[in-house]
Amino acid sequence: MLSIIVPVFDEQESLAELYRQVDAVCKENSIDYELIFIDDGSKDKSWEIIQQLSHENQQVTGIRFRRNFGKAAALTAGMKAAAGECLMMMDADLQDDPAEIPQFIEKFREGFDVVNGWKERRLDPWHKVYPSKVFNWMIGRLSGLKLHDHNCGIKLFHRDVAAEIRIYGELHRFIAVLAYARGFKITEVPVHHRSREFGHSKYGVKRFLRGFLDLLTVTFLTGYGQRPHHILGGIGLFFFGLGAIGFTYLSILWCSMNILHLFPASPIGSRPLLAYSTAATILGAQAMSIGLLAEMIVAYNGRDRDTYSVSERTDLPTGSKPVSRIE
Ligand code: UDP
Ligand code: MG
């Protein structure tokens, strides 16, 4: 079964039409589906329309948030409620075309865990299109997963992906990256993009700064989330080492002037190198202590989920009992 998850924030004009299109496509291709609308604190009539749709059609479910919690939260609530083996997310604004559903399912049947949409010809204003190209390129460089359109609203993924990755804040842009970091197989398919007919975009220019900060978060979490000391301690050691070299050089100089009298004595206290070495040593010691603190946090609190991801296993021999989990 396919669970279609649709985050909704003030989209009253599109909902009924979206349902109609999804239903038509799924019936035509005999896809067993459920449609889950998550009303993310809409102030318009969206919730009334969702209630109505859900009342009239048993495939439709509605979840209503008390206030606006953001797209990632809405998607998470949808994933938790989904019953299907295969989950699809889709924007409510009709910019994604439900007619694409079959080609996503085809890729899923080929064995991919995440099928990401790619708005090949994008019908958005230029100030969204160009920064987004730069953004996608940066994600590709930093994460190693090269996709054309990481933030595409339409994606399909296996329920295991939803169970293993955790999205919060605005991390919905990084679903494919987070899944890739856990070894899931990712692919993309080109999709038609339609321009927004009703309502307005919920994301302004702030998205770029936030997106960039989130990119740093995701790079850190997927690369060093389980071993923060390897990066913070590395940086710390580097600076500590620089400081130590500076101090050693100054000490040797001082000794050769004041003890061995190789040169005429001049004070070392006013040399810029002394200030640089002091700064580097403090910086290094600080980075190392923060690294150790981070390591303690991971060691004591970071074990609430597996740090690995299992794709398959053979059956256990009959009669044997699985080893109980070591707490
Ligand atoms: N959305 C949401 N909560 C928010 C912002 C957006 O549920 O806080 C939904 C919105 O209703 C739409 C989808 O997320 O279904 C994508 O939003 P939008 O179309 O505004 O983004 P854009 O297409 O401009 O990137
Ligand atoms: Mg949109």
- Work out the mean pLDDT of the chain and round it to a whole number: 92
Quote the ligand 2 centre to 282 CA distance (angstroms): 48
pLDDT number for residue 208: 86
- Find the mean pLDDT for residues 230-258: 96
Ramachandran bin of 248, using left for φ above 0, alpha for ψ from -120 to 50, beta for the remaining angles: alpha
- pLDDT higher than threshold 50 for residue 118: yes
pLDDT number for residue 325: 53
pLDDT number for residue 122: 83
- pLDDT higher than threshold 80 for residue 284: yes
- pLDDT higher than threshold 80 for residue 261: yes
Query: What are 93-106's pLDDT values in tens digits?
Result: 999 999 999 999 99
Q: Select from 42, 71, 154 the residue to mutate for testing ligand 1; criterion: most ligand atoms less than 8 Å from CB.
A: 71
Question: Does one domain contain both 212 and 250?
Answer: no
- Find the mean pLDDT for residues 289-297: 95
Q: Nearest 5°: phi and psi at 191?
A: -130, 160
Q: Which residue, of 224, 259, 281, is where some domain finishes?
A: 224
Q: Is residue 319 part of a domain?
A: no
Ramachandran bin of 169, using left for φ above 0, alpha for ψ from -120 to 50, beta for the remaining angles: left
Question: Does one domain contain both 189 and 261?
Answer: no
Question: Does one domain contain both 194 and 167?
Answer: yes
Quote the ligand 2 centre to 194 CA distance (angstroms): 9
pLDDT number for residue 317: 72
Q: How confident is the model at residue 324 (pLDDT cuts 50, 70, 90)?
A: low
Question: Does one domain contain both 207 and 281?
Answer: no
- Find the mean pLDDT for residues 14-32: 96
pLDDT number for residue 207: 84
107-116, 173-182, 314-323: range with lowest mean pLDDT: 314-323
Name the residue range of residue 288's domain.
228-304
Residue 300 contacts by C-beta under 8 Å, 6 or more apart in sequence?
none
Nearest ligand 1 atom to the CA of 202 is: 20
Query: What are 183-241's pLDDT values in tens digits?
Result: 999 999 999 998 888 999 888 888 889 999 999 999 999 999 889 999 999 999 999 99
Question: Does one domain contain both 142 and 90?
Answer: yes
The enclosing domain of 63 has a CATH number of: 3.90.550.10
Question: Does one domain contain both 147 and 174?
Answer: yes
Quote the ligand 1 centre to 72 CA distance (angstroms): 10
Going by their DSSP bridges, the two strands 33-39 and 155-158 should be labelled as unpaired
* Ligand minimally distant from the alpha carbon of residue 44: 1
Query: What are 150-178's pLDDT values in tens digits?
Result: 999 999 999 999 999 999 999 999 999 99
- Find the mean pLDDT for residues 65-71: 96
pLDDT number for residue 314: 86
Quote the ligand 1 centre to 151 CA distance (angstroms): 11
Quote the ligand 2 centre to 195 CA distance (angstroms): 8
Q: Which residue, of 172, 203, 224, is where some domain finishes?
A: 224
Question: Does one domain contain both 55 and 13?
Answer: yes
User: Hey, whose CA ends up nearest to atom 23 of ligand 1?
Assistant: 201
- pLDDT higher than threshold 70 for residue 320: no
- pLDDT higher than threshold 90 for residue 265: no
- pLDDT higher than threshold 70 for residue 304: no
pLDDT number for residue 321: 65
- Find the mean pLDDT for residues 42-63: 96
Q: How confident is the model at residue 303 (pLDDT cuts 50, 70, 90)?
A: low
Q: What are the CA-CA distances from residue 52 to residues 45, 93, 222 (Å)?
A: 11, 18, 42
Question: Does one domain contain both 217 and 233?
Answer: no
Q: Which residue, of 224, 252, 274, is where some domain finishes?
A: 224
Ligand 1: lining residues by beta carbon, under 6 Å: 7-9, 11, 40, 68, 70-71, 74, 91-93, 95, 153, 201-203
In terms of pLDDT, which residue wins out, 171 or 327?
171
Q: How confident is the model at residue 322 (pLDDT cuts 50, 70, 90)?
A: low
* Ligand minimally distant from the alpha carbon of residue 170: 1
Q: Select from 22, 93, 167 the residue to mutate for testing ligand 1; criterion: most ligand atoms less than 8 Å from CB.
A: 93
* Ligand minimally distant from the alpha carbon of residue 95: 2
Q: Select from 38, 40, 91 the residue to mutate for testing ligand 1; criterion: most ligand atoms less than 8 Å from CB.
A: 91
- Is the pTM higher than 0.75? The answer reads yes
Question: Does one domain contain both 24 and 161?
Answer: yes
Residue matched to tokens 């995701």: 218
Total domain count, the chain: 2
Q: Is residue 284 part of a domain?
A: yes
The number of beta carbons lying within 10 Å of the beta carbon of residue 212 is 14
pLDDT number for residue 129: 86
pLDDT number for residue 327: 46
Q: With contact defined as beta carbons under 8 Å apart, do 79 and 5 qualify?
A: yes
Question: Does one domain contain both 279 and 166?
Answer: no
Quote the ligand 2 centre to 120 CA distance (angstroms): 15
Q: With contact defined as beta carbons under 8 Å apart, do 245 and 281 qualify?
A: no
Residue 58 contacts by C-beta under 8 Å, 6 or more apart in sequence?
none
